Structure 1
């Protein structure tokens, strides 16, 4: 383990800055890209179908990126290459207007951007582990800047034409690519090995598959929220700043969890966090299905600490433990691929249901989240492991 405190601090600082800038991109893209798509002439069902189809590209893009990262090209160069491709795609979207071109460049951009989280987490976890530093304090800066981006984009939403929101996304994507170039190189990767079972790759272990599926279902149950909450709140008369504040409130709760994650009792292991995330998501989506507009809406938004934060922390910690040496990016990639498939299905369902029944479609998301919690509970009770 690297003991040089200067190296540890420098790596953590650069990783934190990269999380911050990349989450500015996410903080603008997640709430407002569906609105931008709608402004170009697509209806809610078509927006859901486009988002579902592009998410499904993870099946190809994530294995491509993680294979390049783990098998010679390196995690850092792969991050840089895909970040610049993402910036190019969003810039192109600002320059085209034909529906077929928008769909085509949205697909290109999704191909480049969907491996980002898997690559970034793999890079950060490996670098921090080698330097004896914790993940939570680095990752929380991403959440902080996600909030700032929500507010800034919400303000811009009130001041500029909706069609120009794409330029905020494009500029933040270019900034992300530029910051990626200053990430520190990782130590040499160990030779990849399987997890002590020569004839059985780690990704075929029932416990690994079950946990990945549980976390993916919980994360994918956010489909109605990610795709249509901004559209819903806009229709309810909320201004852009209020919408940004509502998104930010959820992430503030997430930050609190990330900040104190290392102080949680030992009883809260990765699997238990995933179960907690699933239960929190179930409650949240049931509440949002009733289209709240009063005090209950901020309370439900605070459950983002569980629906996203707890399930994300649990999944990342589980994968870091379960992945063999030298296969971190690949393991994160499997999670991203499975999540891409489930999210695509959920987003397609979300678009169809939202077009037909509006916010009541959150009820279907509650069922999906509860299913994830049940699967994780089965793993917890019937497939115990001392470390997870």
Structure 2
């Protein structure tokens, strides 16, 4: 039986997961439209889907009380994702399209924090380079979204579902690959106190509350960019080709941090890295609201390396090395549920309510959110003990 050591295991699973994500995230709305759903209904459904992603993290992650329970949970969630996608072949009226799409968001998105929790444990115990292991996901996302565009132009929207089913099967198989490195927790009272199903008990710790709120502000501030970036770029006169170039710049620069971040920021603390990400976010979104030159906008896109990728690496380092061991799985779940999903969902709804009236000025609000994160990160209290 083939066994992979920690870093190759994370890299291979991330490749499969983000190959699936590169199909689901950009193209699922097109598949729903091809099944007869209106654009307005799709918008509401996708917004609700972001909320179910948060629920997935909060309800499924606590099922793993200890680190060695994470891989079985990951395989179970991967199987559930495949089962839901397969159900679309047989259940495709309006009710089932909505229910299954929400369920799909619940399971597919939860694989990200579960795999990140596994990686966090190996960062702590083995010192693996999370960024280099994670970059395979960025590469796979680019490849799958590019290939899906070609397949879609040739075979039409039905191909999206079949491609997603194939990618989900690959992800399930990769989740079952044997691991050469152990995932056992430290044999200590703190580690033995790993969360007993009380997810929000972690938030009794002031540091944990500030960490979740600050990362929610930093990551949630991407909401305007994700939801309205392309529309705004077109409104200020950029061509479709230029818009595609701008998105590519962001992903390429994100990959550079994933590959070289360990070397460049080796001596930096996680909180210092997050403060840099917040400062970069304030500058980036202020510039996006101001500039109308495609080259200068490309420079703002290069800052995605700091506002997203650096923040993500800092989060993994913080959970692995600075947060109490008893908080690790719960803190990973809360970060995914509240910072990445719920925070972004709520800010997406806010952007939707304001964009028609204020257009690009919405990015000034995103800049302000990053400024609010800085004092939260600058203050740290002594831990009160295990939770």
What interval of TM-score do these two structures reach, taking the shorter chain for normalisation? 0.7 to 0.9
Cα distance in 2, alignment partners of residues 39 and 57 from structure 1: 23
Residue 3 of structure 1 corresponds to which residue in structure 2?
Answer: none
Superposed displacement of residue 32, structure 1: 2.6
Residue 276 of structure 2 corresponds to which residue in structure 1?
Answer: 276
Cα distance in 1, alignment partners of residues 320 and 153 from structure 2: 42
* TM-aligned CA distance change 1:294 to 1:96, over 3 Å: farther
Where does the alignment leave 5 or more consecutive residues of structure 1 unmatched? 1-5
* TM-aligned CA distance change 1:384 to 1:158, over 3 Å: farther
Cα distance in 2, alignment partners of residues 228 and 181 from structure 1: 38
Match 2:376 to one of 363, 367, 379: 379
Superposed displacement of residue 152, structure 1: 2.0
Match 2:99 to one of 96, 101, 104: 104
* TM-aligned CA distance change 1:246 to 1:153, over 3 Å: farther
* TM-aligned CA distance change 1:155 to 1:269, over 3 Å: farther
Residue 132 of structure 2 corresponds to which residue in structure 1?
Answer: 137
Residue 187 of structure 1 corresponds to which residue in structure 2?
Answer: 183
The 10-residue stretch of structure 1 (294-303 or 122-131) with the greater mean CA deviation from structure 2: 294-303
Superposed displacement of residue 138, structure 1: 1.1
Cα distance in 2, alignment partners of residues 48 and 220 from structure 1: 18
Superposed displacement of residue 194, structure 1: 7.5
Superposed displacement of residue 211, structure 1: 1.8
Where does the alignment leave 5 or more consecutive residues of structure 2 unmatched? none
Residue 13 of structure 1 corresponds to which residue in structure 2?
Answer: 8
Residues 120 and 317, structure 2, Cα contact 8 Å, conserved in 1: no
Superposed displacement of residue 259, structure 1: 1.6
Residues 213 and 372, structure 1, Cα contact 8 Å, conserved in 2: no
Q: Aligned pair 1:77/2:78, yes or no?
A: no
Q: TM-score, normalised by structure 1?
A: 0.81
- 5 Å-filtered alignment, 1:2-151, equals 10-42=5-37, 45-70=40-65, 74-93=69-88, 96-151=91-146
Superposed displacement of residue 324, structure 1: 2.9
Superposed displacement of residue 101, structure 1: 1.8
* TM-aligned CA distance change 1:213 to 1:362, over 3 Å: farther
- 1:265-301 Cα offsets, whole Å, 9 max, x none, are 5664322322332343344445555796833443333
* TM-aligned CA distance change 1:285 to 1:31, over 3 Å: farther
Residues 281 and 307, structure 1, Cα contact 8 Å, conserved in 2: yes
RMSD: 3.5
Superposed displacement of residue 331, structure 1: 1.6
Residue 332 of structure 1 corresponds to which residue in structure 2?
Answer: 332
Q: Secondary structure at the match of 2:240?
A: coil
Q: Secondary structure at the match of 1:81?
A: helix
Q: TM-score, normalised by structure 2?
A: 0.81
